[in-house]
Amino acid sequence: MNQALKTRPDHSIRPDLEMSEDHVVADLTAAFEADPPVRWMYPEQTEYLRHFPTFLSAFGGVAILEGTLEWAEGGAALWIAPGSAPDDEAIMAVVEASVPASRHNDVFAVFEAMGLAHPAEPHWYLPVMGVVPERQGRGLGTALMRPVLDRCDATGVMAYLEATTERSRALYSRLGFEQMDTIRVADCPPIHPMVRHPL
């Protein structure tokens, strides 16, 4: 795995800190354990722990492969650069293998709605950003997002994401994101597409 994170000493992010995909997956699995849409997809704890890492690899793994993630002990932001995209075929395969067939239509409808919400213009996409519960509220999420947002500002490129909790929506708003809409599909908890224009 590429070690792409630019360091920030105030969060003990060190360039020599060994990072592995296992670290990233473990941190994000802990961070998303109470995420409403994720737990709607995997409501049982054993199923969540079993399947979320595979789903994570399909949904945000391109950031790991291309080295466009930001990581610190306790959290990660999986950014996907303009011109790249999540692996739709892998996402479909994971859902088919890990979600009961009776729920496939609803889950696929959620992902279809998310796909339609993306801006048409080139943009950095943040499919996954999370901080483990014990490190939340200390600025780590902002530190993980700042390098790519600074790059967006320097290059005039927008950023896009989907907020899944009120807490994350408030964080993203403070960083300049604006809510575009609210995705409501079946009984999935609401998902809020947000866009940030370069400053």
Task: Specify the residue for token string 């009961």.
Answer: 100
Tell me the whole-structure pTM to 2 decimals: 0.89
Cβ-contact 49, 42 below 8 angstroms: no
Report the relative pairing of strands 75-80 and 69-72 from DSSP bridges: antiparallel
Q: What's domain 15-196's superfamily in CATH?
A: Gcn5-related N-acetyltransferase (GNAT) (3.40.630.30)
Cβ-contact 95, 47 below 8 angstroms: no
Per-residue model confidence as pLDDT tens digits over 4-53:
333 333 334 333 344 578 889 999 999 999 999 999 999 999 999 999 99
Domain limits, the chain: 15-196
Per-residue model confidence as pLDDT tens digits over 135-190:
999 999 999 999 999 999 999 999 999 999 999 999 999 999 999 999 999 999 99
Cα pseudo-dihedral 91, 88, 117, 30, rounded to 10: 30
Confidence band (pLDDT; 50, 70, 90) for 73? confident
